[in-house]
Amino acid sequence: SSPVPDPELVAQEVNEKINASRRNLQSLSCSTGNTIDDCWRCDPNWEKNRRRLADCAIGFGKNAIGGRDGKIYVVTDSGDHPVNPKQGTLRYGAIQKEPLWIIFARDMVIKLKQELILNSFKTIDGRGASVHIAGGPCITIQYVTNIIIHGVNIHDCKQGGNANVRDSPEHYGWRTLSDGDGISIFGGSHVWVDHCSLSNCRDGLIDAIHGSTAITISNNYLTHHDKVMLLGHSDSYTRDRIMQVTIAFNHFGEGLVQRMPRCRHGYFHVVNNDYTHWKMYAIGGSASPTINSQGNRFLAPDRRENKEVTKHENTPQSKWKKWNWRSQGDEMLNGAFFTPSGAGASSSYAKASSLSARPSSSVGSMTMGAGVLGCRKGRRC
């Protein structure tokens, strides 16, 4: 997927969306200014029109429609078979060729035997049930497009691989050892991960590499993990220069260490997130990524050596001072500080602008619902 043609227009469009959603909802107490939530959460009948969610994304992943134009597929069986999945299991729905909006018949814990390899145009929608994908390999989005993952608990993910795994009704193949990420995006595009709770995986919670782009990561609650989010494969892998990722309205919570995110090459818009815990640093990068940090709240740890939000990885200052990293309207607490570099002018951040930031003073209310919501039929989420 090519980069967004004119990100300034995207930003303007999202700004208009934010203002419109604020106008529409002024009479409703559930409005928070979190544009994604304000688009659907106020509707007590969300369950009768689940697919409406697909029109609520913002940022670089806003065109991810998932399974909006397909049938509803109901997961009734928490079991798993990597090569011959039974109808009613999550894997059976995930690998189909046609668009599907996947929902869950009841609360379930799904311990996958191998990584779940999604086919294009799929939504995994956990609303209305307590759904955990945990204790085994987790989710892989590889060379596919239009994926929405919403309302799922993803934790304690392990490595998979050295095994055959089916990725479509017609094809299965040998998989080498996987990293053990919560969600691994590999050459994927138009991906939206929203309102998930992620913790304690073997490698990353959400990693996007190998030319992945057009991604929004929003409203997630991330806890108890070391290397939280890697965006960009390696310093030498220049195809990641097309990468554009929006990280918005997330709560980076207790027990996190570093990489929130760690960026390479591409364009990263980090906007209106709440950073309450990090042990080493919050936002890092190498290989000249463009990082546009706006309207976030950064609460530094007590250790004096770790109060810097940013980390320019393994690079001399003579090089990193040319990288475009800026902080605009961020709130710095407990001695937190952001080391900017490169250009300050807005024009240099055009390709890293995907929505209009709200003031950092609103971050608490906008991220209060981060993570999996307790949605029940007939009630607002």
Catalytic annotation, residues: 259
Nearest alpha-carbon partner for 331 in 290, 296, 367: 296
As to burial, measured by CB atoms within 10 angstroms (0-12 exposed, 13-18 middle, 19+ buried), residue 166 is buried
Beta bridge partners of 186: 142, 209
Residues 345, 47: Cα–Cα separation, whole Å: 44
Q: Which residue is associated with the tokens 């030498």?
A: 236
Q: Which two tokens stand for residue 20?
A: 């419109």
Asked whether the beta carbons of 197 and 205 are under 8 A apart, the reply is no
Write a three-state SS string for the chain.
CCCCCCHHHHHHHHHHHHHHHHHHCCCCCCCCCCHHHHHHCCCCCHHHHHHHHHHCCCHHHCCCCCCCCCEEEEECECCCCCCCCCCCEHHHHHCCCCCEEEEECCCEEECCCCCEECCCCEEEECCCCCEEEECCCCEEEECCEEEEEECCEEECCCCCCCEEEECCCCCEEEECCCCCCCEEEECCEEEEEECCEEECCCCCCEEEECCCEEEEEECCEEECEEECEEECCCCCCHHHHHCEEEEECCEECCCEEECCCEEECCEEEEECCEECCCCCCCEEEECCCEEEEECCEEECCCCHHHCECEEECCCCHHHHCCCCEEEECCEEECCCECCCECCCCHHHHHHHCCCCCCCHHHHHHHCCCCCCCCCCCCCCC
